[in-house]
């Protein structure tokens, strides 16, 4: 069974995905998920940050297994192609039988934003009103929908992009304002979703109690956040081992991870209040498995007329 993107889009919603990922992150931090480190191979198609990569991400959780193959080519945006493309295979844990193969591009887009929404719900007060977005691509758009789902109070949206025309376009789409980077960074919540190889966010621009959601710059030598941001903040990780090995923001700044978000969600660790927090995520296979299972189960319900 191959499930194309249009069928994934028809059944995958943030209403279902956000709570499912919340539980998946708790399970991961509790040791209930078997998830080896992803294997990443550089494509060698170009120099510098235009060099794409290919990754393989296996995982076992509950009664299913999954493997995602994903590519990231930053320069695809200039060609009118998605920067991320992926395929996910879902398998039975009991027999190894393949259950479904599905397009993973939209799943990657939505699960990344949904994880940030889970983190925001756990780390930010209900009173936050302003959201600054650094970036204007796919993740900026998906995060707008997901973050507003858990914090409808986010009514003041400020958008900055290295390409001003892109910031203006997104602002018009989303009832937001295109602003200088310093203004976007001064919001209650700051989303950093860029492919920049060097820091774009400076800590001196941030509010003392800002919540920073950093989802771009994946790679041990890539950074979105400067040293002041990292070293003046409490760092909460999606997965401690993953960000410590694959996040340049963490590795190159020398920042220490306070806790995993799953530990905060379960009550095993406490996130501080009244201080600046950085939530750093790089994406995990358990998130892809969780989303793929939602799609597969919805597809099965549809095939049986909603029975069973």
**Whether residue 307 has pLDDT greater than 50:** no
Considering the domain architecture, whether residues 136 and 207 belong to the same structural domain is answered as: yes
Confidence band for 308, pLDDT divided at 50, 70 and 90? very low
Considering the domain architecture, whether residues 16 and 82 belong to the same structural domain is answered as: yes
Question: Helices (H), strands (E): how many in the chain?
Answer: 11, 15
**pLDDT (tens digit per residue) in 149-168:** 999 999 999 999 999 999 99
Considering the domain architecture, whether residues 156 and 205 belong to the same structural domain is answered as: yes
Confidence band for 6, pLDDT divided at 50, 70 and 90? very high
Helix (H, G, I), strand (E, B) or coil at 71: strand
Considering the domain architecture, whether residues 144 and 242 belong to the same structural domain is answered as: yes
Considering the domain architecture, whether residues 210 and 260 belong to the same structural domain is answered as: yes
What average pLDDT does this structure show over 228-246?
Answer: 96
Who contacts 117 (Cβ-Cβ below 8 Å, separation ≥6)?
14, 18, 143, 146, 147, 149, 150
Note whether residue 243 is domain-resident.
yes
Considering the domain architecture, whether residues 229 and 139 belong to the same structural domain is answered as: yes
Q: Residue 255: give the domain boundaries.
A: 116-283
Residue found by looking up tokens 């889970």 in the block: 118
Note whether residue 88 is domain-resident.
yes
Predicted local distance difference test score (pLDDT) of residue 48: 75
What's the structural domain count of the chain? Answer: 2
**pLDDT (tens digit per residue) in 260-300:** 999 999 999 999 988 999 999 999 999 999 999 999 999 98
Instruction: In whole angstroms, give the CA distance from residue 174 to residue 183.
Output: 17
**pLDDT (tens digit per residue) in 75-105:** 888 888 988 899 999 999 999 999 999 999 9
Crossing angle of helices 138-150 and 164-173, in 10° steps, is: 40
Q: Are 69 and 87 in contact (CB under 8 A)?
A: yes
């Amino acid at each position: 069974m191959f499930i194309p993107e249009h069928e994934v889009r028809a059944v995958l919603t943030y209403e279902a995905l956000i709570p499912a990922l919340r539980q998946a992150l708790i399970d991961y931090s509790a040791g209930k998920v078997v998830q080896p480190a992803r294997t990443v191979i550089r494509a060698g198609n170009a120099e510098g940050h235009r060099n794409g990569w290919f990754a393989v991400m296996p995982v076992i959780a509950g009664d299913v297994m999954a493997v995602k193959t994903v590519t990231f080519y930053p320069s695809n945006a200039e060609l009118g192609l998605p920067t991320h493309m992926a395929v996910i295979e879902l398998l039975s844990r009991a027999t190894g039988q393949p259950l479904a193969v599905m397009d993973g591009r939209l799943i990657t887009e939505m699960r990344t934003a949904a994880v940030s929404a889970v983190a925001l719900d756990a780390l930010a007060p209900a009173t936050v009103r302003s959201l600054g977005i650094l970036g204007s691509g796919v993740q900026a758009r998906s995060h707008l929908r997901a973050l507003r789902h858990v914090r409808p109070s986010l009514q003041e949206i400020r958008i900055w992009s290295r390409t001003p025309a892109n910031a203006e376009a997104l602002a018009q789409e989303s009832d937001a304002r295109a602003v200088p980077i310093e203004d976007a960074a001064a919001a209650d919540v700051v989303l950093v979703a860029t492919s920049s190889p060097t820091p774009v966010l400076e800590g001196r621009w941030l509010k003392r109690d800002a919540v920073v959601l950093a989802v771009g710059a994946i790679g041990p030598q890539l950074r979105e956040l400067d040293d002041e941001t990292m070293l003046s903040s409490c760092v909460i990780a999606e997965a401690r081992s993953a960000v410590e090995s694959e996040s340049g923001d963490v590795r190159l700044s020398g920042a220490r991870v306070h806790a995993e978000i799953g530990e905060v969600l379960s009550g095993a660790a406490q996130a501080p209040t009244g201080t600046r927090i950085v939530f750093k995520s790089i994406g995990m296979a358990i998130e892809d498995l969780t989303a793929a299972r939602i799609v597969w189960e919805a597809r099965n319900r549809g095939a049986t007329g909603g029975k069973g």
